[in-house]
Homo-oligomer: A and B are copies of this chain.
Amino acid sequence: MEAGWYRRYMVPALVIRGTIFMKNLVRSLIVSLTPSLTEEVIIRGWIYRLRELSKTTFIILRDCSGEVQCVADSALIRSASLKLDEPVEIKGKVRADSRAKAGFEVDVLEISVLNQITQTLPFNASSDISDIGIETILNNRPLSLRNDAVGNIFRIQSAILHYFRQFLRERHFTEIITSKIVSSGTEGGTNLFEIKYFERSAYLAQSPQFYKEHGVAGLERVFETGHVYRAEPHKSSRHLTEYYSLDLELGFIESPEEVMQLERELLNFIFEQLNQNYSDVLKIYREKPLPQMLNAPVWEFEECLQRLNQHFGRTDLVDDLDPEAERQLCQLAELETGIAALFVIGFPLTARPFYTQPRGQQGASQSFDLLFEGIEITTGGQRLHQREELEKALINRGIDPITFTNHLQVFSMGMPPHGGLAIGLERLTARILHLDNVREATLYPRDRYRISP
């Protein structure tokens, strides 16, 4: 075992009695420390705060499990010239102290710096970074994650993912993984990124739509969490060329209302869990806890246009909503129901993909959006499940069904009626935390201009 590296950076003044550092001692996570511990402990983490008084130095040490105040003799510490954010190892003794938040502190016996900071940091883990621009944050992503203002965004995102999957597993959904390399697009071939695939061309998948429908044909209820790609050249605060899609699809439904009800329950579960387990974090980002979603209303698209006209004098919308209309509708929903969220169903069939079910005979579709606190975070609906109808829909759009033979074949092999939805994880995270830009909720955002880091 090559264990020499950490000794090199030990603070010499603290190497006492020639002990072999670490001997017989295993690192403890901070969360596992208790005031009753009597043995020496080894803890490792970053220096989060550092306060040097003439005699005593206070170090707040943080690891992935928590933080603890450590107390050292300033004379010894000084020679180490510790810096904020340095990763260190401390050998110490727990001492009960009723004044400390945790009920104890750690007296430092030895400290070693595990890797020196050799450059001026643009900010620290403990800095107020609310004035620091998004570009600086992105260019210093690892350091920014060490700061709670950013790190907590991704802890919440990780929790959303966890609760999303947990809810669906409990409802008999099977997680699937489908290829992101496809031979053509699901919606006709625009906005596709092309890949050089050996001697030919392939494309990055815009959506797992076809695959999740195929999943339904086999497993009835499936979900996938994964990247999707859109070669959209515009740069906006809500678009990315690569985003993470929470997809689900289920068979044997009767109507898109069942899919919307599932999403109500799904989001309600996620929100309840976040309210319960992450309330300290949520309250930093938003005034109120996350809403109860079970009563989120469903408004018809035509009805939405009428309301927008009536309340905001808008007459410019035809077959889709725009960001302003999404905000306005959420405002209206909040006034009427107390929840700034609503489902909009019945978008014009022509404005939705070919596989969408019609809703009635007037050109509306069984396709819905969920608007949440001012922005669309979901698109879903009921799909056509009969091969002849899909073929007709393709022909109506001037597409030769031959192009989709492999896909269409699945529909004559026992495909049940089905529907599903897709939630943009970055948008959902951004809305939950009231972030203005989806980039703040994306570790490494990609857009027309950015492909690194």
- Chain A positions 196 through 213: 1 when the CB is less than 8 Å from some CB of chain B, otherwise 0: 111010101000000100
- Chain A positions 136 through 167: 1 when the CB is less than 8 Å from some CB of chain B, otherwise 0: 00011111111000010011011001100100
12 new A-B contacts, CB < 8 A, other than A46-B416, A165-B165, A177-B244, are: A6-B254, A87-B415, A115-B415, A117-B413, A142-B217, A151-B218, A158-B174, A180-B180, A196-B196, A214-B453, A226-B227, A227-B227
- Chain A positions 264 through 293: 1 when the CB is less than 8 Å from some CB of chain B, otherwise 0: 000000000000000000000000000000
Greatest chain B CB density within 10 A among A44, A144, A413, A417 is at A413
Decide if A193 is an interface residue (CB 8 Å cutoff): yes
Decide if A241 is an interface residue (CB 8 Å cutoff): yes
Contact (Cβ within 8 A) A145 B215: yes
Q: Which residues of chain B are within 8 angstroms of A376 by Cβ–Cβ distance?
A: none
Q: Which of A91-99, A307-315, A325-333, A355-363 contacts B (4 or more CB under 8 A)?
A: A355-363
Contact sample, A vs B, 24 pairs, CB 8 Å cutoff: A1-B257, A2-B366, A27-B252, A63-B252, A85-B413, A87-B252, A114-B252, A115-B415, A119-B409, A142-B217, A145-B215, A158-B175, A158-B176, A165-B165, A176-B443, A177-B443, A178-B443, A178-B444, A181-B229, A183-B451, A194-B196, A214-B453, A227-B227, A406-B452
Decide if A221 is an interface residue (CB 8 Å cutoff): yes
> Which residue of the partner chain B has the closest CB to A66?
B172
Decide if A412 is an interface residue (CB 8 Å cutoff): yes
> Which residue of the partner chain B has the closest CB to A366?
B2
Decide if A220 is an interface residue (CB 8 Å cutoff): yes
Contact (Cβ within 8 A) B141 A155: no
Q: How far is the CA of A116 from the CA of B452 in the complex (A)?
A: 50
CB-contact partner of A217 in B6, B146, B202, B252, under 8 A = B146
CB-contact partner of A219 in B1, B118, B145, B227, under 8 A = B145
Decide if A323 is an interface residue (CB 8 Å cutoff): no
Q: Which residues of chain B are within 8 angstroms of A444 by Cβ–Cβ distance?
A: 178-179, 211
Question: In the complex, what's the smallest C-beta–C-beta distance from A216 to chain B, in angstroms?
Answer: 8
Q: How far is the CA of A229 from the CA of B181 in the complex (A)?
A: 10
Contact (Cβ within 8 A) A413 B242: no
Q: Which residues of chain B are within 8 angstroms of A172 by Cβ–Cβ distance?
A: 29, 31, 64-65
Decide if A379 is an interface residue (CB 8 Å cutoff): no
Decide if A385 is an interface residue (CB 8 Å cutoff): yes
CB-contact partner of A254 in B22, B161, B211, B255, under 8 A = B22
Decide if A45 is an interface residue (CB 8 Å cutoff): yes
Q: How far is the CA of A168 from the CA of B381 in the complex (A)?
A: 34
Q: Which residues of chain B are within 8 angstroms of A29 by Cβ–Cβ distance?
A: 172
Question: In the complex, what's the smallest C-beta–C-beta distance from A80 to chain B, in angstroms?
Answer: 15
Contact (Cβ within 8 A) B242 A179: yes
- Chain A positions 311 through 353: 1 when the CB is less than 8 Å from some CB of chain B, otherwise 0: 0000000000000000000000000000000000000000000
Contact (Cβ within 8 A) A255 B2: yes
Decide if A437 is an interface residue (CB 8 Å cutoff): no
Q: Which of A223-271 touch B at CB < 8 Å?
A: 226-227, 229, 231, 233, 241-242, 244, 251-252, 254-255, 257
Q: How far is the CA of A251 from the CA of B195 in the complex (A)?
A: 35
Q: Which of A64-81 touch B at CB < 8 Å?
A: 64-65
> Which residue of the partner chain B has the closest CB to A193?
B195
Q: How far is the CA of A157 from the CA of B174 in the complex (A)?
A: 9
Greatest chain B CB density within 10 A among A89, A173, A218 is at A218
Contact (Cβ within 8 A) B252 A451: no
Contact (Cβ within 8 A) B181 A358: no
Q: Which residues of chain B are within 8 angstroms of A218 by Cβ–Cβ distance?
A: 141-146, 151
Decide if A397 is an interface residue (CB 8 Å cutoff): no
Decide if A134 is an interface residue (CB 8 Å cutoff): no
Q: How far is the CA of A227 from the CA of B211 in the complex (A)?
A: 16
Q: How far is the CA of A358 from the CA of B1 in the complex (A)?
A: 10
Q: How far is the CA of A410 from the CA of B119 in the complex (A)?
A: 10
Question: In the complex, what's the smallest C-beta–C-beta distance from A299 to chain B, in angstroms?
Answer: 15
Q: Which residues of chain B are within 8 angstroms of A434 by Cβ–Cβ distance?
A: none
Q: Which of A407-423 touch B at CB < 8 Å?
A: 407, 409-417
Decide if A49 is an interface residue (CB 8 Å cutoff): no
Decide if A395 is an interface residue (CB 8 Å cutoff): no
Decide if A20 is an interface residue (CB 8 Å cutoff): no
Q: Which residues of chain B are within 8 angstroms of A410 by Cβ–Cβ distance?
A: 142-143
